Structure 1
Amino acid sequence: MAPFPCILFHTSLPYILPGLTIYFGERREGGKAMEFCVVTAAVGSKKEADRFARLIRRKFNGLHRDKSEFKLSFVTSGDRISAVFEGDETAYSFAKRSITIREKLSYALAEYVIAEKEADIVRRLVSREYDFTEEEDRTVIVDSCLHLLTPEIEGIEVRNRRCGQLAVHIRHFLEENTELNLDGFMTFRMKEYLDQIRETLDYVVDEYLLDKQYEEFIGLLKYFVHFQETQIEVVHLMHTGGSEFTIYNEHMMPLEAAVVEGVVARIADNELELEDVIVSSLISLSPGRIIVHTREPEIQIISTIRQIFGERIEMCEYCPRCKASLDRGRKQGNQGP
């Protein structure tokens, strides 16, 4: 194999990642063929350069300490750091060790991308592919996306699986090519990886917009309720479990669940669900006080009711009025089919 004429440290493709270029080739030194690999990464600070070097060193911890035919060193130049691998191909275990080097390097680069570059990838995609003008919106979406990509529960397992998948693609490329630009590789050869991020972003954005729409809707209801005149002094909202609710007057007589037309009729052209009907009924009755009897005060509909009616809400988890109804509802809910 003819030697490379030079090692280029200035390669940079301004798309998703800063330039990160890898070279595999041969050179002649002292009469021996020296297989070498150079990994060059663009870094924004000394701390980032240190993290890159530390990650590579950790993967090749024993490489520079034993009398191996492979050696690892680091070179910095401006805003770039290079990890340089050198080896004597005349050594007995050269072929086997070169395979190990590529495997470890592939996984190290995958870890580097996910740990150090993925947040930048997500931020760039949000800026370029979504129309959010407020920095607060973009920050929430980026953080939520990164959280889903590597969740707290089983986070290490998920991260290891993603690193493994990315490393396989990098290793396959290195086995068949003498030069790898990770910037271009991630952009043009790792469509699956970027598509996974885009799919996660699409989900996060949809949920975020729905949440904002919901918050705006709740705000409108709070405003409406604030200026409503009281129609009835007190009502009891009995939650017997699940989505089962009954509204009673102050004498514990059931009230019809009348829905206010035109006030809470639709959200984004979608028909209201059961919990919205309960909220609408309470708005229609316009009580001065709402005593909520429930054994599950943390569920979503209870939280929504408390948001809308504020100080009008009184919570009851146990009283003579609700004991029989709530205990009966709990027993029925615990019964299997």
Structure 2
Amino acid sequence: MQLFSIIVQTRRHRLDHLFQWLSGSFAEVPLLNGKVEWELLSSEPFGAIVCKAVLPRFQLQKHGQAVYRHAADSLADYIIEGMEEQLLRGMIVKEFGYEEKTEIEKIACFCAEFLNETPPGVEAGNVATRNSHSRRKSKIVQHLESYLESHTELNLDGFVRFRLQAYFEDLKSAVGCAVDEYLMDKQYQEFISLLKYFVYIQESKIPAAHLMHKGDQQFILLNERMKPIDVGVPDGLTVEMPDKEFQCEDMIVSTLISISPERVFIHTREPQQQIINTIGQIFENRTSICTNCPHCRRFLGKKNRNLLYP
């Protein structure tokens, strides 16, 4: 007895993937194992994956709700993991007008970050870090289960595009945020290139500068004799990083560019900090990062052996 069929556009690899996805997920449910079977039908321009009840072991009253619920759950996972990336790329092209492959790739990466970001206050790796994924999935499952209970044919592509409006709004919002982030990042990289040019054309004014990073936004800038350098930059270049840095960091970058040291030594216990990455991009091979030299121990304190930095 046929319970329902799922209609998809005929692309053999896609049909096979979805067929394996559904049949494999149902085989893992003890209540339904041996009660339903799946059949793959291929024709142009659509193919079908049919869910059939195995009589007499299948009883609609006893097993029907579980079939619809688990089918909805499996299809929701397939939509998110197997279709979502393509849906996002389609929005990037059609609704935001990006056609360059590199731009689409970068925006798609930002989309993934926004859609699967760790909620505030939750540690990375915690089950709750999948909160965004679960929220999107629950919206899809609810609509799919209701639809399968009252229909025997599901056109998957049509259902996703025309019935999952709340889900589509989530994706569209993510793409909008990703485009904004991409434009900010592009502006930032262009600005970094400009600063690199300033550094390239300037003659060095001092042999070396030591940037002591004491943690968070606490910095001390010293010359080659380990004496403080004025961070006011009265006659120098004033840098305002586009939406990437804080005011004190702007002054540090401005000062470094103004004095143009031959070498920049960064002493820190947190080399992954944005400001340190920025200085490394601007000064390139003039930059060295140190985490445990005598100057580090003097200004930053004794190194914690549990730290992962070399």
Q: 1:103 to 1:316 in 2, by over 3 A?
A: closer
CA–CA distance in 1 between the matches of 2:294 and 2:144?
68
Q: Are residues 1:43 and 2:10 paired? A: yes
CA deviations 1:310-335 (Å, max 9, x no partner) are 2333444344445332218x89xxxx
- Which letter does structure 2 place at the counterpart of 1:325? F
**Residue 165 of structure 2: which of 181, 191, 210 is its match?**
191
Q: Is the aligned partner of 1:134 residue 2:108? A: no
Please list the CA deviations of residues 19-39 of structure 1 after superposition, one character each: whole Å capped at 9, or x if unmatched: xxxxxxxxxxxxxxx664222
Residue of 213, 217, 241 corresponding to 2:215: 241
Residues 1:56 and 2:30 aligned together? no
Q: 1:174 aligns with which of 123, 132, 148?
A: 148
In the alignment, the residues of structure 1 paired with residue 54 and residue 224 of structure 2 have an alpha-carbon distance, to the nearest angstrom, of: 90
The Cα shift of 1:147 comes to 5.4
Cα displacement (A) at 1:227: 0.6
**Offset of residue 263 of structure 1:** 4.1
Partner secondary structure for residue 204 of structure 2: coil
Gapped regions of structure 1 (runs ≥ 5): 1-33, 332-337
Alignment of 1:55-74 (within 5 A): 55-61=21-27, 66=34, 68=35, 72-74=38-40
173-182 or 188-197, which deviates more: 173-182
The more displaced of 92-101 and 144-153 is 144-153
| Fraction of identical pairs, as percent | 34
TM-score (norm 2): 0.78
Of 321, 325, 331 in structure 1, the residue corresponding to residue 299 of structure 2 is 325
Q: Map residues 252-331 of structure 1 onto 2, 5 A cutoff.
A: 252-259=226-233, 263-267=237-241, 273-327=247-301
Give the strand-richer structure, 1 or 2.
Answer: 1
Report how far residue 218 of structure 1 moved: 1.0
Q: What SS does the aligned partner of 2:213 have?
A: strand
Structure 1 or 2, whichever has the larger Rg, is 1
Letter of the structure 1 residue corresponding to residue 10 of structure 2: V
In angstroms, what is the RMSD of aligned CA positions?
3.6
User: Which deviates the most, 76-85 or 258-267?
Assistant: 258-267
Give the length in aligned residue pairs: 294
Structure 2 alignment gaps of length 5 or more = 118-123, 305-310
In 2, the alpha carbon distance for the partners of 1:293 and 1:65 equals: 61
Distance 1:85 1:239 in 2: 62
Q: Identify the range of structure 1 (166-175 vs 95-104) with the bigger mean alpha-carbon deviation.
A: 95-104
Aligned equivalents of 1:254, 1:91: Cα separation in 2? 83
Pick closer, same or farther for the CA change 1:91–1:215 going to 2, 3 Å. Answer: closer
Q: CA deviation at 1:250?
A: 3.1
Matching residue within 184, 191, 200 for 1:217: 191
Cα displacement (A) at 1:113: 1.7
3-state SS in 2 of match to 1:257: coil
Q: Give the CA deviation at 1:172.
A: 1.6
CA shift for structure 1 position 222: 0.7
Q: Does 1:108 align with 2:74?
A: yes
Task: Pick closer, same or farther for the CA change 1:81–1:261 going to 2, 3 Å.
Answer: farther
Task: Report deviation, 1:201.
Answer: 1.8
1:227 is matched with which residue? 201
Q: In the aligned structure 1, how far is the partner of 2:32 from the partner of 2:260?
A: 77
- Residue matched to 1:16: none
1:208 partner amino acid: Y
Correspondent of 1:94 among 50, 53, 60 = 60
Q: Distance in 1 between matches of 2:216 and 2:243?
A: 26
CA contact (8 A) 2:9 2:46 kept: yes
285-294 or 256-265: bigger deviation: 256-265
Judge conservation of contact 1:265–1:271 (CA < 8 Å) in 2. Answer: no
Q: Is the 8 A contact 2:184 2:242 kept in 1?
A: no
Q: Verify the 8 A CA contact 2:205 2:259 in the aligned structure 1.
A: yes
From the superposition, tell whether residues 49 and 176 of structure 1 become closer, same or farther in structure 2 (CA, over 3 Å): closer
Tell me which residue corresponds to 2:174: 200
User: 2:73, 2:141 within 8 Å by CA — same for their partners in 1?
Assistant: yes
